[in-house]
Amino acid sequence: EPEVTQTPSHQVTQMGQEVILRCVPISNHLYFYWYRQILGQKVEFLVSFYNNEISEKSEIFDDQFSVERPDGSNFTLKIRSTKLEDSAMYFCASSDDRGRDQPQHFGDGTRLSIL
């Protein structure tokens, strides 16, 4: 069964450094999402992306965050200058519909640890 893949599985970075989290969504999917989950807390929506542009973003997704689909397969999340509170599990998800009747499929996540 096709799946969403994310790399790396774990990223350790010094505060203030830039990080890029990578995702390869399911190949025929058109809608892409990033969520994050701080340890012990709920999964939170960050941003959705369709047709090469951001469709919607949450208040968490400030100017330090950006997303890109640099080619036909990868979907990246960049955090420009990381803060301690960015430490979380980051999940990429994709859907072949706007989630209306089709589930969003999640990758295994990248655990980001900011020191």
Interacting residue ranges for other proteins, rule: CB under 8 A: 31, 33, 35, 41-45, 48, 50, 55-56, 89, 91, 95, 98-101, 103-109
Nearer to other proteins, 4 or 114 (CB): 4
Nearer to other proteins, 15 or 96 (CB): 96
Closest distance to other proteins from the beta carbon of 95 (Å) = 8
Return d(Cα 60, Cα 19) in angstroms, integer.
Answer: 16
Sequence-distant (6+) residues with CB within 8 A of 24 are: 4, 5, 6, 73, 74, 75
Positive or negative torsion for Cα 55, 61, 66, 68: negative
Nearer to other proteins, 1 or 14 (CB): 1
Nearer to other proteins, 18 or 75 (CB): 75
Instruction: State whether residue 106 is helix, strand or coil.
Output: strand
Closest distance to other proteins from the beta carbon of 107 (Å) = 6
Task: Tokens 């970075």: give the residue.
Answer: 13
Closest distance to other proteins from the beta carbon of 45 (Å) = 5
Closest distance to other proteins from the beta carbon of 7 (Å) = 14
Return d(Cα 44, Cα 37) in angstroms, integer.
Answer: 6
